[in-house]
Amino acid sequence: MSLTDTDTAIPGIYQMIITGTSGSITKTVNLYVEVLNSAFQVVSPVNPLDLATGVSNNSVTIEWVADPSATNYDFELASDVDFTTVLVSQNVTTNQYTATNLDQNTNYFWRVLPKNNGCQGEMSAVFRFTTGSGISCDPIVNSTNVPLAISASGTPTINSTLSIPTNQNQSIDKITVSLNITHTWMADLTVTLISPLGTQVQLFSGQCNNRDNAVATFDDEGITLTCQTTTPTITGTLIPAQPLSTLIGENSEGTWTLRIFDAFNQDGGTLNSWGITICTTDDTPLSCGDITSVWNGTTWSNGYPVNNVVCGHQ
């Protein structure tokens, strides 16, 4: 059975009733046909915008306007405008893709093909963004809301805050947390960083049994937490229990909170100090010649030159 002239049909599920008769026997079968929408929208970038510069090479979420007719998208990321060197070719079910560990000072090109279970649109225009020249970190911002006592009675929760004013606001590309806690039986504690937007990142919880104290920096690029037999038992530059990269893309301005929950009675202590270090990508637009593409007689090393690329010859 074939159906024709469905171009004008409203997308949806249609019921068909088929009745068959043979002598005195009549049988009825219900069939259902789903008509899908083949009218896809033109793809428009949301973030980063086309020709954006200073984009984080650490992690960037590439997002486009969602198409109501699409249930999935073919996403491609390339290092040249011709897509001869495709770095990512992946089907995604949302209108975004997160690219990580990109090169600094480099042009990247991306495009999207919207699809659903029965139809597909046309490949989008090619969009370009340029990564920045690496991450730079501001001096640590220390809390003045210290010291705070952690009571030995009951199961207390303490919240210490620090504020970053609007005129110092930055988009976060990396963040680290340094802290100094005096406490007997460290396994009692759960320590969590809370951003101004309310995003919570657990730094550690239930670690090191009855050993004492923590003087450490938490950094996604640190080492795995290993309890020391000396004091402080938690020390060094350590990987947090949950990734601080969750905070990438959030603004730094506002009130940050370090929350410490003590799950057991008797042992107590003090939050002596803590602070955060915010790192951002240099978003200064590149000058002509900061990126080069060399023709070797056959291909371009970085795709054929675009408006921020100087060409050269071997």
According to CATH, the topology of domain 45-134 is: Immunoglobulin-like (2.60.40)
User: Which residues of the chain form CATH 2.60.40.10?
Assistant: 45-134
Select from 70, 88, 71 the least CA-distant residue to 79. 88
Q: What is the pLDDT of residue 313?
A: 45
- pTM for the complete prediction? 0.66
pLDDT tens digits for 77-86? 998 888 988 9
First to last CA, the chain: 62
Backbone angles phi, psi at 283, to 5 degrees: -100, 20
User: Which residues of the chain form CATH 2.60.120.260?
Assistant: 136-281
**Domain 136-281 is classified in which CATH homologous superfamily?**
Galactose-binding domain-like (2.60.120.260)
Q: What average pLDDT does this structure show over 113-119?
A: 87
Q: What average pLDDT does this structure show over 145-154?
A: 96
Q: What is the pLDDT of residue 26?
A: 87
pLDDT tens digits for 7-49? 666 777 777 788 888 888 888 888 776 665 567 889 999 999 9
Residue 172's pLDDT band (boundaries 50, 70, 90)?
very high
Cα distance between residue 225 and residue 191, in whole Å: 14
